[in-house]
Amino acid sequence: MNYQNDLAFAREQDRLDPLKNFREQFLIPQHNGADAVYLCGNSLGLQPVTARTYLNDQLNNWQNLAVEGWFQGEDPWLDYHQSLSGSIARIVGAQENEVAVMNSLTVNLHLLMVSFYKPNSKRFKIIIEGGAFPSDQYAVESQVKHHGFDPQSAVIEIFPREGELTLRTEDIVNTIEQHKNELAVVLFAGINYYTGQFFDLKAITDAAHQAGAYAGFDLAHAAGNVPLQLHQWGADFACWCSYKYMNSGPGGISGIFVHERHFTDTTMNRFAGWWGYRRDMRFLMAPGFDAEQGANGWQVSTSPIPLLALFKASMAIFDSAGNMSIIRDKSLRLTAYLEFLINEINLRQGEELFRIITPADPQARGSQLSVVCKRNAKSTFHFLAQNGVIGDWREPDVIRLSPVPLYNTFEDVYKTAALMEASIKAI
Ligand SMILES: *Cc1c(COP(=O)(O)O)cnc(C)c1O
């Protein structure tokens, strides 16, 4: 694709965009009476126009049916979570019984570690990416301590090589191989939140299995952003949140994946609760936990229906967009356009004022570009905000910009780059 640095080109791309009508299905924040340029969907996705209706429907059911809502109405609450599993299974590349919509992300990560991290004196190590999202670091550290091990020796972080910004797959694979005799779990993000690097999850899974360890993934920045094939890749477990690329609202419902090969493993630990009990026998309230087959057996508590309703509004939009490859196709072009424009600024300025630390390989990234500002980083971020471009700030000098294919436009990207260039003189 030949990109051009002009507004007419950007508008023409928007006119040709097969997903162009999806933008109307979202509420775009306003800035000085016009749509802001929202490039922050990696942090909090925008509100679907229908979110209010989906939520209201359930408030009405609560009002009209009260406790009967569990069993009556169009979508009885008892199985409401099930009405979402087809959509989310398509997004993460799983079978429907391999996913469960439940809880919040870090809570789910802990629950999955209870099942998949069973260290003994020989195998107790966890490999994670260096600079993982803090919540994942804390979760892993506390799991290790909970089992009486020392995070210093049990948690192996992999960092980029000297002078490099992102991880090489070969280095990940080699590190896994090096620790193979003591390795229990490899836990990686799908996409690193800071650099935007999309890891080779298939290669990591294979390497973990070769080493006799489990492979688990935190897909917070990957689900709804890049195509995933968890089942086919053979990943053991995964979790994600839905409030980033999946637009379910602040603190929205999370979900888990457990590969079907683990469903018959009766030695697996789990922290059980009644919502994970066999659906057909749950209300007999019998003693002794008997898990529901599949990922739903990891549920613990009563489904939070309002959160599920908000998520459903967004999943309906994903369903109508078709499969992830249509979304990915636009995402690749939008992100490449932003990259092109930023590189153009650097060329014109004769200096790399904006350094993109996200991999240049489109297969190794999603929608996000992380940009290091060489000068006046914080003021550049504020300048963008004052002019209606909402990005995301990370200390000490990184601006994350995520053009999201369902609601961002080529014009959004064009405006952002133009303002980045204007900021050089203005600050
Ligand atoms: C956003 C994010 C989280 C947040 O976890 P919550 O439990 O939803 O607060 C955790 N891990 C990663 C990798 C994230 O990107």
Q: For residue 88, which of 237, 257, 235 has the smallest C-alpha distance? A: 257
Looking from the CA of residue 218, the nearest atom of ligand 1 is 13
Distance 382 CA to ligand 1 centre (A): 25
Q: Whose CA is nearest to atom 1 of ligand 1?
A: 220
Torsion (CA) 394, 399, 402, 403 in degrees, nearest 10: 160
Distance 107 CA to ligand 1 centre (A): 10
Spatial separation of the C-alpha atoms in residues 236 and 256, rounded to whole Å: 11
Neighbours of 108 (CB within 10 A): 25
Looking from the CA of residue 221, the nearest atom of ligand 1 is 15
Strands 125-129 and 99-101, bridge-based pairing: unpaired
Neighbours of 347 (CB within 10 A): 10
Per-residue buried b or exposed e for 395-405, using 16+ beta carbons within 10 Å of the residue's own CB: eebbbbbbbbb
Residue 27 marked ligand-binding:
no
Are 7-35+323-426 and 54-320 equal in CATH topology?
A: no
Residue 71 marked ligand-binding:
no
| Domain range annotation of the chain | 7-35+323-426, 54-320
What DSSP element (H or E) covers 342? helix 324-349
List ligand 1's pocket residues with C-beta within 6 A.
Answer: 104-106, 133, 135-136, 189, 193, 218, 220-221, 241
The CATH homologous superfamily to which domain 7-35+323-426 belongs is Aspartate Aminotransferase, domain 1 (3.90.1150.10)
Q: Whose CA is nearest to atom 2 of ligand 1?
A: 220
Distance 385 CA to ligand 1 centre (A): 24
The predicted pLDDT at position 290 comes to 92
Looking from the CA of residue 109, the nearest atom of ligand 1 is 7
Q: Whose CA is nearest to atom 13 of ligand 1?
A: 133
Distance 43 CA to ligand 1 centre (A): 10
Query: For a pocket test of ligand 1, which of 135, 193, 217, 221 has the largest count of ligand atoms closer than 8 A to its C-beta?
Result: 135
The CA–CA distances, whole Å, from 316 to 34, 396, 414 equal 27, 38, 29
Spatial separation of the C-alpha atoms in residues 14 and 223, rounded to whole Å: 24
Burial status of residue 100 (CB atoms within 10 A of its CB: 0-12, 13-18, 19 or more): buried
Q: Could you tell me if 38 and 408 are in contact, meaning their C-beta atoms sit under 8 angstroms apart?
A: yes
Q: Whose CA is nearest to atom 10 of ligand 1?
A: 135
The predicted pLDDT at position 343 comes to 98
Per-residue buried b or exposed e for 113-136, using 16+ beta carbons within 10 Å of the residue's own CB: bbbbbbbeeebbbbbbbebbbeeb
Distance 106 CA to ligand 1 centre (A): 6
Question: Which of helix, strand or coil describes residue 425?
Answer: helix
pLDDT along the chain (427 residues), means of 10: 94 98 98 97 98 98 97 95 97 98 98 98 97 97 98 98 97 98 98 98 98 98 98 98 98 98 93 94 88 96 98 98 95 98 97 98 98 96 97 95 98 98 94
The predicted pLDDT at position 254 comes to 98
User: Quick one: fold of 54-320?
Assistant: Aspartate Aminotransferase; domain 2 (3.40.640)
Q: Could you tell me if 241 and 254 are in contact, meaning their C-beta atoms sit under 8 angstroms apart?
A: yes
Question: Which of helix, strand or coil describes residue 82?
Answer: helix
The predicted pLDDT at position 361 comes to 98
The predicted pLDDT at position 284 comes to 86
